Amino acid sequence: MKNILDLFLTEIKSVYKQCIVFILIASLVFTLSISLFCLSFDVIKGYKAYLDEMFADGLSFELNVKSFDDFLRAGGAADYLKIDVWNFTDDVNFSFNGVIVSDEDSEEYSIFFGDAYVFRSALPNACRGARLVSGRWWTDGDNLKQNGFYNIFISSQTAEALGINAGERLQMSFPYTNAAVAELTVAGIYEGEDVGDFVCPAYFIYGIFESVAATDYTDGVYVYYYGEVAEASDIFDAVSALRRGGFKPELFLLEEIDLVNAARYILITISVISFLITSFILNNIVTITVNARQRFIAQLKLLGAKSSLVAALYYSFLLFSFLASFALGSALSVLLKNYYSGIVNTTLDFTVTLNMYPAVLLALFLTGVVILAVRFVLFGRKINKIQPIDCVRSE
């Protein structure tokens, strides 16, 4: 290690001029890369702060889908069943390995089937069983089986209480009527208690909903859902989640959100391109140096240097150049942050405070290190090809 340092200190004296020029150019591009990368985060942050300030009570939005079934299917609940039996402790028990859990939180029950029909109503006190769609009643496990229901989604609290995992089968029993026990496979486990302990995934899959209510539906033609976010800034995630699920939320801020998001991606893209250019410049430092020093490398090998020593010598140039450019680029970015903020704030309605996130810088640094590691392998090959005899042949 020490001999690499000794050689490095010796060799840098003969190549420092070209290194300095490259490092300065790389630093300037690096400055752009770092600044834009940080800015891309700060623009979003500034806009979210602006939203929270403007809409202190949160934001509401609507979803317009063709049918309730469409909503559930888009939510990934193609084979769904919702069974909420609330406030009927003796009606339905769920058990697994001798552990029994009952639900007793609500006075409402719902059953959702996978055929686009929905039955939803307040359960009369006199009702002792659950009701099937199409006006049929079901009272036991056999009935469920006949209607092709084998799966159920349960809350994490219930799963924990039962000690059951996804893929395992639980028993649903009806102790009040002593009806047949149903065997259901736990298709998934979800977080949250708002929607009950045993449901299909449609309501909870987007955790952003504080409340979801069907405002209207007529024979499965149109269904409007109303959602809201308590913190206005959460609308970013809500919109993203809904779009991933195939929904088109209706929201007056949508265009603005898209614009800010686009700005972020453009900034990140330019930043990444700048970073690649920086890497290219830095790599060229060593490529040019190695090419220019082929005879010297051959001479080092002739005098007894192993390939690994020579590779480490020139790799240390790359590392040094990277560190120098990174340090200089970071310093320049911090110096220029007010300038950048000024430019951004004159074109936007909200205020952007440009910070230099340590995490962002660290990410950039680590990416650089990965690039350097790849180059290390490539340099090793290039230097391996240079043989001691090349020193004599070049004469």
Partner 1 sequence: MIDIRNIFKEYHGFFALKDVSLTVEAGEFVALVGASGSGKSTLLNIIGQIDVPAKGEVVIDGVVTSAMNDNQKAGLRNKLFGFIFQSFYLESKYSVLKNVEIPLIIRGLRATERKTLAVNALETVGLKDKAKNLAGTLSGGEMQRAAIARAIAGNPQIILADEPCGNLDTVNGGVILNLLKALNDAGKTVIMVTHNSEHAMAATRLIRLKDGELVSDEKHP
* Contacting positions for partner 1 (CB under 8 A): 2-3, 6-7, 10, 13-14, 295-296, 299-307, 309, 388-389, 391-392, 395
Q: Closest approach of Cβ 15 to partner 1, in Å?
A: 9
Residue spans of alpha helices (H) in 293-393: 294-302, 307-347, 358-385, 389-393
Q: Closest approach of Cβ 289 to partner 1, in Å?
A: 13
Nearer to partner 1, 285 or 386 (CB): 386
Integer Cα distance of 323 and 372 in angstroms: 11
Question: To 10 degrees, what angle do helices 358-385 and 2-54 make?
Answer: 150
| Backbone torsions φ then ψ of 167, nearest 5 degrees | 100, -20
Mapped onto helix, strand or coil, the DSSP state of residue 201 is coil
Integer Cα distance of 386 and 383 in angstroms: 5
User: Which residues, other chains included, contact 309 with Cβ-Cβ below 8 Å and sequence gap of 6+?
Assistant: 3, 4, 7, 300
Nearer to partner 1, 51 or 312 (CB): 312
Max CA separation in the chain (angstroms): 105
Q: Closest approach of Cβ 359 to partner 1, in Å?
A: 40
Q: Closest approach of Cβ 388 to partner 1, in Å?
A: 5
- Amino acid letter for position 364: L
Q: Closest approach of Cβ 310 to partner 1, in Å?
A: 10
Nearer to partner 1, 243 or 306 (CB): 306
Would you state the structure tokens that stand for residue 130, as one six-digit string? 């659950």
Nearer to partner 1, 126 or 377 (CB): 377
Nearer to partner 1, 302 or 356 (CB): 302
Q: Closest approach of Cβ 283 to partner 1, in Å?
A: 24
**Which position has the token pair 């000024």?**
342
Nearer to partner 1, 3 or 338 (CB): 3
Residues in the chain: 395
